Structures are given as C-alpha cells and as structure tokens.
Amino acid sequence: MIKAGALLYAMFLVIVISIITSSIILVNYYNNFYVLGAFKQDQLFQDVYSGINYGLVFNQTLPLNQATKIDLFTDAQHEVSLTKKSWGAFYVISSKATWRNKKASKTALIGANLNAGEKTAIYLAEQNKPLSLTGLTIITGDCYLPESGVKRAYIEGKSFVGQRLINGAKKNSTKNLPSINKELIDENYHRFMNSNTDSIVDYEVFLGHDSIVNTFDKNTLVLYSPFTISLANKTIEGNVIIRSDRNIIIETSSNINNIICYAKGIIIEKNSSINAQFFAQDSIVVEENCQLNYPSVLAVLGKGNSATQRKISIAENVTLKGAVFLYNENYDRKNQALVSVGNNSKIMGQIYASEMLELRGKVTGGVFCNNFLLKTPSSVYQNHLMDVVIDRVALSEHFVGVALTEEINQHQIIKWIN
C-alpha cells in the first residue's frame, strides 16, 4: 500500500517536471519567434535595398508618383512597393516592404551614371565655324566639333600657349545638340504652374519660423507666394519646394539644404554657401564667391517668347558641384539665351546651353553648347575660348550627375535621404 506522503511527493515531481517542460517549450517558442522575427526584419531590409537596385535598373519603366508592387524573385515571399517621383533634376525612389507587423523602408536620391557612355569634354554644334583657342586653354577628353575643326587664335595680344589643342579624340558634331531629356523639362516646367500632389502653404505663414525641416517620408511641403520671396536668416531643409510667381532672393544668411526653388528670376547673393536646385523661367544670377555644394543645380527653362534675354549668370570665384543647364524652346536669333561663367569660377559636373555659352574659368566635366561666346574690351568673338580649362577625364567616376540628354539611361544613388 502506497503511503499518502509518497503519492503527494510523486504528484509534486510531476508538477515540477511539467512546469520545467512547459518553460522549456515556452522559451523555445519565444526563441524561435524572436529568431524568425529578427530573420524577417533582416530580410525586409535586404528586400528594400534590392528594391532600390531594381529601381536603378528599371528607372525608365517605373511610373511617376504612384506605387508599384514588385515581386523581386517571383516567389511571393519578397514583395516590395516602389514609388518614384521627380525631385528637380533628379529622382527620389522609395522602397517599402512589410511582413505582419514589421516594416522596412529606404529612400534614395538618384541621378545619372555619367560614366556609362562616352566621356565628352565638349559638344559644339555644327555652325560652319571652327573652335578657336587662345591663351592657356587646356581641353582634356573627347570632343565633338564642327567639321572645320579646331585652330589657334591670336586675341588681345594672346596666342595659344598649350602643348596640344585637344587632349583626346576629335569627332564631327551635328547641327543640333543631343536631344535634351523631355521628361526632365516637362516635369519641372509643370512645377512652375502647380503642385497638385503636394501640401501648398502660403509662404507668409512661415515668416515667423527660423527653421523648416520636412523629411522625404512625408508629402512635399510647398511654400508659395505670388510676390517676391527673400530668404534671410532661415534654415530650410529636406522635402521642401519654394515657389514664387515673381523672384526668389537667397541672402547670404540663409542655410538651405536639399530644397528646390521655382520662380521667374532667382538671385543668389554673394558669399552664400548652400545646397539646392534652382529653376527659373527667365534668369538666374549667382553673385561672386558663392559655394553651391553637391548636388546643386542651376536651370533656366524657357517656353514661349521672352521680351528679355534668358540667362544664367555666374560671377567670379564661384564653385558649383552639380549641373548648369539652359533650355530655350523658341530660338530668337536677336535675343539668344546665354550661360555665362565668370573668371576663376569652377564648375564640377555638367553644362548644357541650348544656345550661347560664355565660359571663363574651369570645368571639371563636360560642356554642351550651340556656340561659344567670348567678350573682350575691344570685340566679341564667336566659338572662341581664352584661358579656359575643360577636363572631362578628371571628373570622378563616383560623380553622379543629371540625365540631361535622352542618351543617358543608367542611374546611380547620389545619397540616402531616409
């Protein structure tokens, strides 16, 4: 006969063993749950990075401003949502992935891979006039030139003093420049008129704010005024567009980063140090000693006739890393559009002038123009360069630029913005 004490002891052992066993099972369950969750979270991040890479490769097929579901490996286990939107001269691609209550997302600013094709230093349209060089002018890289080629010139007491006229291959250009990227022009010209998908706020509402920061996971904040906007003593950063029906003046005290400005005319005051994209319908003036950090853009987009000359004027001792382009839809021979770069100014990146380019200083990158203009105290010369350096070879292979022409169709990440 089993004593009652022994039975109680046996029941106690059963309970203890049950508790221990249940605890082990529970710990194992939560451990597996945690491991699975961590694995899935890591997988989500790998998927969103893969989504960004997909967007780089298939950028031209992705629709603008709408989410696209992509099954990365056609197994229903790696689905991401990609959204592409125009951001000035560049694109913003967002990649998102979810699993149960877990989420992952990344957003990148992307631009053109300039090293995918030819490394062109100069593309000068065929106007039946040669390119003439004088002074200490150094051209490095392949050049598309008129059939009449390149020659030495003697101007203002200066003759050509370089060792070679062109340090690179010479090819024949055509009467027209390579076609400018139509989507780039249309998207940004549309911004002058409206921004229906964004949050539009009267600029005067923010006059009392010293700082405005809007991240790229939110709707774009558009600060609008029908009058001239003067930015002074303000910090504005991120997913922000400033739009004026008249002019925008960037004062030296402004601190702006990653934003876009649209106006009829834009003035950047001397000694400014900023990073932004500027789009104007008539003119952009950059005063002396300004620093426009990468990736900055100066663009004048002209549609229809203009009573005044459309112009981008860059003063002396300006450094710009990014792109400068002027597109004038209607050619006016008596009032040709002009890009002007002053003495000792340095442009790292691209210049595209659909009509005239007056160039002094140094370009590390490539130049596309209909014709060059050189003004001296005594005369004006067409297709002449004096004391200019254009070096396409020196542009870093890691430099990501603007898809200015239809021929550029490969993209790379400029930077992560979220």
Q: What is the pLDDT of residues 136-145, one digit of tens each?
A: 999 999 999 9
Q: Are 251 and 271 in contact (CB under 8 A)?
A: no
What is the end-to-end Cα distance of the chain in Å, rounded? Answer: 76
| pLDDT (mean) for 366-388 | 96
Instruction: Report the candidate in 229, 280, 217 with the shortest Cα–Cα distance to residue 256.
Output: 229
Rounded Cα–Cα distance for residues 135 and 148 (Å): 20
pLDDT of residue 173: 97
Say yes or no to pLDDT of 165 above 70: yes
DSSP class of residue 79? E
Rounded Cα–Cα distance for residues 118 and 408 (Å): 10
Three-state DSSP at 106 gives strand
- Give the count of alpha carbons within 13 A of 11, CB side only: 6
Q: Which of 98-102, 242-246, 255-259 has the lowest mean pLDDT?
A: 98-102
pLDDT of residue 386: 97
pTM more than 0.85: yes
Rg (CA), the chain: 29
| pLDDT (mean) for 254-259 | 96
pLDDT of residue 35: 58
Say yes or no to pLDDT of 195 above 70: no
Q: What is the pLDDT of residues 297-330, one digit of tens each?
A: 999 998 877 778 999 999 999 999 999 999 998 8
Q: Are 310 and 339 in contact (CB under 8 A)?
A: no
CA-CA-CA-CA dihedral for 323, 327, 333, 334, to nearest 10? -70
Q: What percent of the chain has pLDDT over 90?
A: 67
Q: Are 312 and 283 in contact (CB under 8 A)?
A: yes
Rounded Cα–Cα distance for residues 298 and 89 (Å): 10
Rounded Cα–Cα distance for residues 196 and 393 (Å): 42
DSSP class of residue 33? H
Say yes or no to pLDDT of 257 above 60: yes
DSSP class of residue 203? G
Top pLDDT among 332 and 360 is at: 360
Three-state DSSP at 54 gives helix
Say yes or no to pLDDT of 97 above 70: yes
Rounded Cα–Cα distance for residues 312 and 331 (Å): 16
Say yes or no to pLDDT of 38 above 90: no
Q: Are 185 and 137 in contact (CB under 8 A)?
A: no
Give CB contacts under 8 A, 24+ apart, made by 24-31: none
Q: Are 209 and 186 in contact (CB under 8 A)?
A: no
| pLDDT (mean) for 375-381 | 93
Report the chain's mean pLDDT, rounded to a whole number. 90
What is the per-residue DSSP string for 139-158? EESEEEE-TT-EEE-EETTE
Q: What is the 3-state secondary structure (H, E, C) of 275-338?
A: EEEEEEEEEEEECCCCEEEEEEEEEEEECCCCCCCCEEEECCCCEEEEEEEEEECCCCHHHCCE
Q: What is the pLDDT of residues 65-91, one digit of tens each?
A: 899 998 988 787 889 999 999 999 999
Rounded Cα–Cα distance for residues 337 and 302 (Å): 9
Confidence bin at 32 (pLDDT 50/70/90): low
pLDDT of residue 28: 72
Rounded Cα–Cα distance for residues 195 and 192 (Å): 8
Say yes or no to pLDDT of 196 above 60: no
Q: Which of 33-47, 53-67, 106-120, 348-362 has the lowest mean pLDDT?
A: 33-47
